[in-house]
Amino acid sequence: MKLCTFEYKGLERVGLVLEQNNIADITIAYAAYLYNRGETKAYQLADVLTPPSMREIIAGGGSSFEAIQEVKKTLKAKPDMTGPKGEQIIHSLEKVKLLAPVPDPSKILAPALNHRQGWEKVIRPEMEPHPVYFIKLPSCVTGAFDPIEIPDIGVVGSEVEIGAIISKKGKNIPLEEAERYVFGYTIHNDITGHEMRQTQEWIIVKGQDGTEEKLTYAGRYKCFDTFAPMGPWIVTPDEIKDIHNCKMEAKVNEDLVQDGSSADMVFQFPKLISYFSQAHTLEPGDIISSGTVKAAKGWNILRTDLRKLGGVLESRVEGIGVMKNPIKPI
């Protein structure tokens, strides 16, 4: 299934993506399903099992998933079905505003240098390799077709990634159980202020013995508002043949600037989920990002300046879809 979050008449809703660029309002559709079966409290039950909130639907677990399956089967048999009070259920994607699939994740965890071409350059200490990562703020999140607002902070570039959506609460998750914690996958572009990181976002501290240490943190150069476009929807794992073998690319004004595959991930999603859960309790709707891919031929990720290039940033992942975000200098 493909599930999205959309805005209709100023209200946030959760949609089931159908064929022919249509979506179904899951809450109203399930209320109609219950009403047609004689349920007198159809709206109340629909609000519990299929609420208009992606995080709440994910947290609903198997009960919510089964309800959505009923919606899917019912709409296939009755595509003209309306709500109990005649409400519209089916909407054209062109007539609603798609939001990020999970507009309000409690946290976004993203590994650094998690593709083989980058990892090969790392000078590693003599220890067991493990993911190194940063945390992006929920306020970074924006939709798949919303503008990316870029202030004048130097070179800001694209880092196309896959986001795994966590399905249930978990702590110290065993590696062999980690896949059971994935609700689905979406596209995430980890917009990054590369020049800011190199010129401003570090300090050098000197110890009492005279030694110096350079420290840098991702709190600012990856965390400006709109620096985490996501979407256009969540695709459940059963619809993706192999999430660790999907083509990934980014284009700016039709020019290919990133080109790679999730097959190049150093640490795959089960390892990331298990490792991150050792430090952080994972919650339904949390995002675990994949790390990005290499630059396309003729481009350099650290010098691809979205603000200067302008136009539209297109992020594409095989089996999931495409985002098209206008670049908006501010």
| CATH number of the domain enclosing 49 | 2.30.30.230
Confidence of residue 125 (pLDDT cuts 50, 70, 90): low
Q: Report whether pLDDT(66) > 90.
A: yes
Q: Report whether pLDDT(126) > 70.
A: no
- Are 14 and 117 in the same domain? no
Query: Residue 208 has what pLDDT?
Result: 85
The residue written with tokens 């902070």 in the block is 153
Query: Residue 229 has what pLDDT?
Result: 98
Q: What are 152-161's pLDDT values in tens digits? A: 999 999 999 9
Q: What pTM value is reported for the model?
A: 0.93
- Are 223 and 296 in the same domain? yes
Q: What are 93-121's pLDDT values in tens digits? A: 999 999 999 999 999 999 988 988 766 77
Confidence of residue 127 (pLDDT cuts 50, 70, 90): low
In-domain check, residue 8:
yes
Domain count, the chain: 2
| Mean pLDDT in residue range 239-247 | 96
- Are 113 and 164 in the same domain? yes
- Are 276 and 135 in the same domain? yes
In-domain check, residue 295:
yes
Q: What are 13-22's pLDDT values in tens digits? A: 999 999 889 9
From the list 291, 293, 243, 246, the residue with the least C-alpha distance to 267 is: 291
Q: Which residues contact 263 (CB under 8 A, 6 or more apart)?
A: 244, 245, 246
Q: Backbone phi, then psi, for 27, in 5-degree steps?
A: -65, -50
Percentage of residues of the chain with pLDDT beyond 90: 82
Confidence of residue 206 (pLDDT cuts 50, 70, 90): confident
Q: Could you tell me the residue range of the domain that residue 281 belongs to?
A: 108-329
What CATH number corresponds to the domain at position 210? 3.90.850.10
Question: What size, in residues, is the chain?
Answer: 330
- Are 124 and 193 in the same domain? yes
In-domain check, residue 103:
no
Picking from 79, 98, 117, the residue at the C-terminal end of a domain is: 98
In-domain check, residue 155:
yes
Query: Residue 175 has what pLDDT?
Result: 96
- Are 77 and 133 in the same domain? no
Confidence of residue 123 (pLDDT cuts 50, 70, 90): low
